[in-house]
Amino acid sequence: MSLTDKDKAAVRAMWGKISKSADAIGADALGRMLVVYPQTKTYFSHWSDLSPNSAPVKNHGKNVMSGVALAVSKIDDLTSGLMALSEQHAFQLRVDPANFKILSHCILVVIASMFPKDFTPEAHVSMDKFFCGLSLALAEKYR
């Protein structure tokens, strides 16, 4: 299920529309992930405040979305583009890769809620494929 030229164009177009709101999207997606999937809180026991609009959540949401921005810019070769991030997740963070799907879903839900007219089924399929590719590249160095 690799990204076609059509998918890449759709992802770039979508990113063009949503990138100004990247920080807000990241904060909302991360915040709701912690509420909807409470098991994900286990990775953030070192944070003082796990509530949706807290400083750590907002800050980390920004980080996550700059990773997404990087992936968009490296969409032609996600594996090498995300190599450093993959190493970080594999050897330091050791986040179970099942959680990549969970966060991807939350990001798509936020995009749908913020950009209902733009998030058409065609845009959705390309974005879903993109996040699958991103997740796969992020898991590359795990074993």
Partner 1 sequence: MVEWTDFERATIQDIFSKMDYEVVGPAALSRCLVVYPWTQRYFGNFGNLYNAAAIMGNPNVAKHGTIILHGLDRGVKNMDNMKEIYAELSVLHSEKLHVDPDNFKLLSDCLTIVVAAQLGKAFTGEVQAAFQKFMAVVVSSLGRQYH
Rounded least distance, CB 97 to partner 1, Å: 18
The C-alpha atoms of residue 97 and residue 79 are separated, in whole angstroms, by 15
The answer to whether 116 contacts partner 1 (rule: CB under 8 A) is: yes
Q: Which lies closer to partner 1 via its Cβ, residue 114 or residue 136?
A: 114
Region 32-71 residues binding partner 1, contact defined as CB under 8 A? 32-36, 52
Q: Find out whether 57 and 31 touch, Cβ atoms under 8 Å.
A: yes
Q: Judged by CB under 8 A, which of 49, 77, 96, 122 binds partner 1?
A: 122
Region 2-31 residues binding partner 1, contact defined as CB under 8 A? 31
Q: Which of 87, 83, 98, 110 is nearest to 40 (CA)?
A: 98
